[in-house]
Amino acid sequence: MADSIKIDFQAPVAAEGGDLVVFVGETLKPSSAVAKRLGPKAVDLIAKVAAVESFKGKAKSAMVVAAPAGLSADRLVVVGIGAEKDRAGLDWAQLGGLVAGKVAGKTATVWVDLPGVEASPENVADMALGVRLRRYTFDRYKTRKDDSKPNGTGRFVFAVSDPAAAKKAFKAADGIATGVLLARDLVNEPPNVLGPKEFAARAEALTKLGVEIEILDEKAMQKLGMRALLGVGQGSSRGSRVAIMRWNGGKAGAQPIAFIGKGVVFDSGGISIKPGGGMEDMKGDMAGAACVVGLMHALASRKAKANVVGTIGLVENMPDGSAQRPGDIVTTMSGQTIEIINTDAEGRLVLADVLWYVQDRFKPKFMIDLATLTGAILVALAQEYAGLFSNNDELAQRIAEAGKATGERVWRMPLGPEFDKMIESKFADMKNSAGRHGGSSTAASLLQKFVNDVPWAHLDIAGTAMGSPQSETNKGWSSGWGVRLLDRLVRDHYEG
């Protein structure tokens, strides 16, 4: 939920009480400037306590010491950055997360002067971003709040050599952080609260930032012929929606780039109903759509110089008397027909119509879709990488690089005629499920039939969007995966 963390940047200052954060390497020595400001007594104390607590200054470790008299702080938080050779690949967001996890109480002063490392304004901004991501909590539905853990309150003052530059860099990072938290919130919300209509209304809130929104209801979709998408929603008492978000920060009339999200607000499996165990997790089957909303927030709030279209397909997959059946054949907006083998392979049906609609209407430079599409991607890549499928090597390469830069990593998976063959249907142009073997690739190759040769990439985020491994910047269930990666992709290649 929206945090109320206050983040400031100042020239090197004394702590204002609370925690004082300093960084040391494996020699346990802070930078010489920090050592001078701390004074010999504090530097000595750090070395002594470190010996007792076997704190070695290793990367990703920290130690807390009561501040000695004479320092205007209550506690010293000593954060390790490891040996010199580890420091080149320092992940600043993770470092900020570590700091935010160690700080207790209301105020922290962070002396950003690391031994042997120059922190650029962007590095400092990433650290502050890490603080916000770490302090995210979702306790809207807890009537008794747990105040014992670090939460979304407090004030962090980063003491840096160039506060104006850091402040400027943080303005962009702050919007990205809010975008990630927005995506996390949407994924965490329970499905009774967030149906297709309510989700669309949350997207509509982006108009505040200058994003244009359009919402297609079922009547509009009927007219367009989106029968694959509508078929998925027909067993739900809640009507389907498509929300289109447009950020026009680029040159007027310039070809847009497009992001598409799977927004199944709840996936029961439909008539091919899922087993009961863990079904509650399927409230998160709209994480692709949540990422697109979070990304649009990030891009609009930093006024990205690009024309961007975000489109999300919002449906609920439920079994009832009017639900779609295995054996049904639907005609998609593209005119191609799909035989339904398994009503639980619904995400590809939603995306088939949305992908076709987006390329047809917007003629984008590229399309990237995000979807919690297959359990099979968890079998292949665990929760460490998202699956990347693409018909375009340059786009795939750029996504992989942005993934490395942000720590939201992807792994390229195959498409090809073998997989096309596996989804051939006896009765229709294709079928929506080909069984377990190569399940992520057969799903992706169905999607490819709806991109009309536009440069396209598909990210299967079933493993990374929720319940993913905890890190210093993610301690909750939903991760907000993809917002940082795609913001980075746009920033590095598609602005100006």
Which of the residues are catalytic? 274, 348
Residues in the chain: 496
Where does this chain touch Zn ion (CB under 5 A) — which range of 3-11, 44-52, 265-273, 360-368? 265-273
Residue 308 binding: pick among ligand BES, Zn ion, Mn ion, none (C-beta 5-8 Å cut-off by kind): none
Beta strands in 344-423 (DSSP E): 367-371, 386-390, 410-412
Smallest separation (angstroms) from ligand BES to the CB of 372: 4
C-beta of residue 118 within 8 angstroms of C-beta of residue 165: no
C-beta of residue 29 within 8 angstroms of C-beta of residue 114: no
How far, in Å, CA of 171 to CA of 285, rounded? 31
- Give me the residue whose beta carbon is nearest to ligand BES: 375
The residue from 316, 344, 460, 487 that contacts Mn ion (CB under 5 A) is 344
**End-to-end distance of the chain based on CA atoms, in angstroms?**
33
**Radius of gyration from C-alpha coordinates of the chain:** 24
User: Which CB atom, from 112 or from 226, has the smaller least distance to ligand BES?
Assistant: 226
Smallest separation (angstroms) from Zn ion to the CB of 285: 4
472 binds Mn ion (CB under 5 A): no
User: Which CB atom, from 240 or from 372, has the smaller least distance to ligand BES?
Assistant: 372
Where does this chain touch Mn ion (CB under 5 A) — which range of 52-60, 114-122, 260-268, 366-374? 260-268
Q: Please say whether the dihedral angle defined by the alpha carbons of residues 241, 287, 181 and 481, taken in this order, is positive or negative.
A: negative
460 binds Zn ion (CB under 5 A): no
C-beta of residue 197 within 8 angstroms of C-beta of residue 492: no
Angle at 254 between CA 248 and CA 255, to 5 degrees: 95
Number of residues that bind Zn ion (CB under 5 A): 4
285 binds Zn ion (CB under 5 A): yes
List 410's β-bridge partners, or say none. 386
What is the DSSP code (8-state) at residue 424?
Answer: -
C-beta of residue 91 within 8 angstroms of C-beta of residue 58: no
Smallest separation (angstroms) from ligand BES to the CB of 106: 38
Number of residues that bind Mn ion (CB under 5 A): 3
Would you put residue 453 in left (φ > 0), alpha (ψ -120 to 50) or beta? left
Beta strands in 354-482 (DSSP E): 367-371, 386-390, 410-412, 430-431, 456-460
Where does this chain touch Zn ion (CB under 5 A) — which range of 94-102, 189-197, 258-266, 385-393? 258-266
Where does this chain touch Mn ion (CB under 5 A) — which range of 264-272, 295-303, 320-328, 363-371? 264-272
Smallest separation (angstroms) from Mn ion to the CB of 35: 58
Residue 374 binding: pick among Zn ion, Mn ion, ligand BES, none (C-beta 5-8 Å cut-off by kind): ligand BES
Angle at 209 between CA 9 and CA 192, to 5 degrees: 105
The residue from 113, 267, 339, 369 that contacts Zn ion (CB under 5 A) is 267
**Residue tagged 């690089």 (tokens):** 401
Smallest separation (angstroms) from Mn ion to the CB of 235: 13
In the region spanning residues 323 to 382, those forming contacts with Zn ion, defined by CB under 5 A, are: 347
Q: Can you give the binding site for ligand BES, defined by CB under 6 A?
A: 267, 285, 342, 344-347, 372, 374-376, 433, 439, 462
How far, in Å, CA of 275 to CA of 269, rounded? 9
How far, in Å, CA of 65 to CA of 76, rounded? 5
267 binds Mn ion (CB under 5 A): yes
User: Which CB atom, from 107 or from 372, has the smaller least distance to ligand BES?
Assistant: 372
C-beta of residue 278 within 8 angstroms of C-beta of residue 239: no
Residue 375 binding: pick among Mn ion, ligand BES, Zn ion, none (C-beta 5-8 Å cut-off by kind): ligand BES
Smallest separation (angstroms) from Mn ion to the CB of 269: 6
Residue 462 binding: pick among Mn ion, ligand BES, Zn ion, none (C-beta 5-8 Å cut-off by kind): ligand BES
Smallest separation (angstroms) from Zn ion to the CB of 263: 10
What is the number of alpha carbons within 13 Å of residue 31 lying toward its C-beta? 15
Binding site for Zn ion (CB under 5 A): 264, 267, 285, 347
Binding site for Mn ion (CB under 5 A): 267, 344, 346
